[in-house]
Structure 1
Amino acid sequence: MRLVAAFFALILPALSFAQNYSIGTGGQSGIYYPLGGALAKVWSDKVEGVNVKAEVTAASVENTIKVVRGDMLAGIAMGNVVLDAYEGAGQFPGEMPVKVLFALYPNLVHALTLQNSGITQLADLKGKRVSLGAPGSGTAVTSAALLKSIGIDPKKDIRAVYLNYSETTNALANGQVDAGFIVGGQGVGAVTQVALTHKVRVLPVSEKDRSKFIAENPAYSSYTIPGDVYNGVGQVDTLSIWNVLVVRADMSDDMAFNLTKAAFENMGDVRKVVKVVEATTKANASRLSGVPLHPGAEKYLNSIN
């Protein structure tokens, strides 16, 4: 009995040492959720003293707020939202204590409609029923900003609803909305799935509209979705914005170093789950200009070739 007691006295502190954390993701029909789950597993397995789970959220804005409050270890978020938080702009009342661990992959603006809707360009959305994305999401921020940029007031000129990815494609398929925005990685599941059962159109963003929008929102860039990424959809010119891992600025350097090291050294496992993180490289780590990398993350990135 004494040996058994001594054994448990030795192992119990080790078992209770790991602290529980969460990583903010998004809805289960997008890319954030499986990516967050893959990162959570890597961190739990490879970083001593942490146990991380993926949390379903409304995505970018909610994740950033929860990271700032200390409710989350890290959050996946669109770069424009993190930049707004850092600068105290947009939906944030003041400058937030945030930094970037590293950039992940570019999100693409999918302005989605059915081919028989008669809608062929963004200007045609005026007066229509349009899903702008889930409340508190980067999609909702981007879609509203893009509409304003082309002269459409989201509060007056359209009948706006706020739905997540799967709700948007279901409403589109059922005729409950005329169009909807999904700002997600290339090949995002919600668009892929609806394109298999319905003839869809991804509305292009014209060169003129892209130039104007990028001048107003320099975190964005132009992007061309290749043909046949989605069933029956040809090449489409649109906008992109990098997704990043946002953390509190006062995260310890050691924690930031260890999280970044574990992620990059096991990125092959993450790519098996989410292909788009082929873009997650040292060269792309600082693709979001305007928000500094965390010093601990930067230390690790500078140590690798």
Structure 2
Amino acid sequence: MSKGRRTTRASVAVAAAAVVALSACAAPEDAAGPGQDEGDAETTFLQLATGSTGGTYYPLGGEIAQLWTSNVEGIQVDTLATGASVQNMRALEGETEDAEAGQIDQSELVMAVNGVAMQAQASTGPFEEEPLANPDDILALGNIYPEVMQVVVSADSDIESIADLEGADVEIGPPGSGTEVAARQILEAYGVDPDEDINAFDSTFGDAATALGDGQVDAAFGILSVPAAGIVEVGASNEVRLLPIDGEEAEGLIEADPSYSPLTIPGGTYNGQDDDVVTLTQWATLYTTSALEEDLAYDLVRVMYENSGDIAHDVGSQVQLDTAVDGLGSMELHPGAERFYQEEGILD
């Protein structure tokens, strides 16, 4: 089936947000580079690439950036709305293109799903044909919160499993997002070809949730926090259900990609979801490169975890030091972050 595309005012908002963020990130000529003071520069300007305005990354990233700007002397961190994980990995190396925001500049800091970062490092998945120039230079700063795959349908839908999505209208996430990458893996694990067996749409989750509530699509994939604001909003007027991702298919996914692990979403989390649902989770993680100065990396990590209680977003309570290095797999830590974790007893 052909792949659909839905253009909405929200897409325009993403583009506008990107323009504003880029303007804010344009440092004066004497401003320092990533984490290094030069000449008379008083402020180091950093850019944090996040995700779509309808997801978790963008608002959460804004709060973290404000924590850094307020608590780390001599820096200003601005956020940028993007297509999320895949694009953000590319933004670490230089200019990249986004379907909605257009061209964006290099970002010194990015948020991404840990599984996508591992693919970028290994030049697999979406990076197989267009690998990064220096994939081994990607360094982790620390985990933010669990990224939970949630596949949502209307409570009265006759779709009971991922396999039942064959022939359906399905939102699988923006091109290059962690949601799209995982959605394709999951669909294929259940024998559903995402390019042939469904009519796939690539909206941001905010638009996808609206489309689901309006009956324009049958299901929507989203790698989101729990509870996810978009699902709660749809559930307020339309009862919803989550499709399980378990059994042999889930076991095969975990074996092929160790960044996945099982997670149970309790019944009652959403209006219409009465029973516990087993699904898969990864981690939303902060990444940078070796260009970020060690002491600055140390301060960024320290401030984020020490001040996580000041994050008002629903997932603020999930920004925890004791899970900061879970699921990193083959990804190496930035030396500044590693030093902080050693001092805190998280690492030997």
Whether the TM-score (by the shorter chain) exceeds 0.5 is yes
User: Aligned partners of 2:261, 2:159: CA distance in 1, in Å?
Assistant: 24
User: Aligned partners of 2:150, 2:321: CA distance in 1, in Å?
Assistant: 27
Report 1:1-305 matches (<5 A): 17-69=42-94, 71-92=106-127, 93-94=130-131, 96=135, 97-234=137-274, 235-270=276-311, 273-287=312-326, 288-305=328-345
Change (3 A) 1:161 1:79: same
Query: Comparing both structures, which one devotes a greater share of its residues to helix?
Result: 1
SS of 1:133 mapped into structure 2: coil
Work out which of the two has the higher radius of gyration on C-alpha atoms and give 1 or 2. Answer: 1
* 1:10 paired residue number: none
SS of 1:44 mapped into structure 2: helix
What is the CA-CA distance between 1:15 and the residue it aligns to? 9.9
User: Aligned partners of 2:227, 2:209: CA distance in 1, in Å?
Assistant: 14
User: Aligned partners of 2:238, 2:80: CA distance in 1, in Å?
Assistant: 31
- When structure 1 is superposed on structure 2, of 89-98 and 191-200 the one drifting more is 89-98
Report the AA paired with residue 280 of structure 1.
V
Report the AA paired with residue 85 of structure 1.
A
- When structure 1 is superposed on structure 2, of 120-129 and 109-118 the one drifting more is 109-118
SS of 2:125 mapped into structure 1: coil
* Identity in percent: 32
SS of 2:88 mapped into structure 1: helix
Could you state the TM-score of these two structures normalised by the residue count of structure 1? 0.90
User: Aligned partners of 2:202, 2:167: CA distance in 1, in Å?
Assistant: 16
> What is the CA RMSD across the aligned residues, in angstroms?
1.8
What is the CA-CA distance between 1:224 and the residue it aligns to? 0.3
Residues 152, 221 of structure 2: 8 Å contact kept: yes
Report the AA paired with residue 94 of structure 1.
P
Change (3 A) 1:45 1:15: farther
- When structure 1 is superposed on structure 2, of 198-207 and 238-247 the one drifting more is 198-207
Residues 206, 237 of structure 1: 8 Å contact kept: yes
User: Aligned partners of 2:205, 2:304: CA distance in 1, in Å?
Assistant: 27
Residues 29, 189 of structure 1: 8 Å contact kept: no
What is the CA-CA distance between 1:16 and the residue it aligns to? 5.5
Return structure 1 stretches of 4+ with deviation > 4 angstroms.
13-16
What is the CA-CA distance between 1:44 and the residue it aligns to? 0.7
Could you state the TM-score of these two structures normalised by the residue count of structure 2? 0.80
User: Structure 1: 5+ residue runs without aligned partners?
Assistant: 1-12
Once the two structures are superposed, what CA deviation does each residue of 1:123-151 show, in whole Å capped at 9, x if it has no partner?
10011111101122100000001111111
User: Aligned partners of 1:214, 1:164: CA distance in 2, in Å?
Assistant: 26
User: Aligned partners of 1:165, 1:298: CA distance in 2, in Å?
Assistant: 34
SS of 1:116 mapped into structure 2: coil
What is the CA-CA distance between 1:157 and the residue it aligns to? 1.0
Residues 111, 180 of structure 1: 8 Å contact kept: yes
Once the two structures are superposed, what CA deviation does each residue of 1:194-214 show, in whole Å capped at 9, x if it has no partner?
011101111111322211111
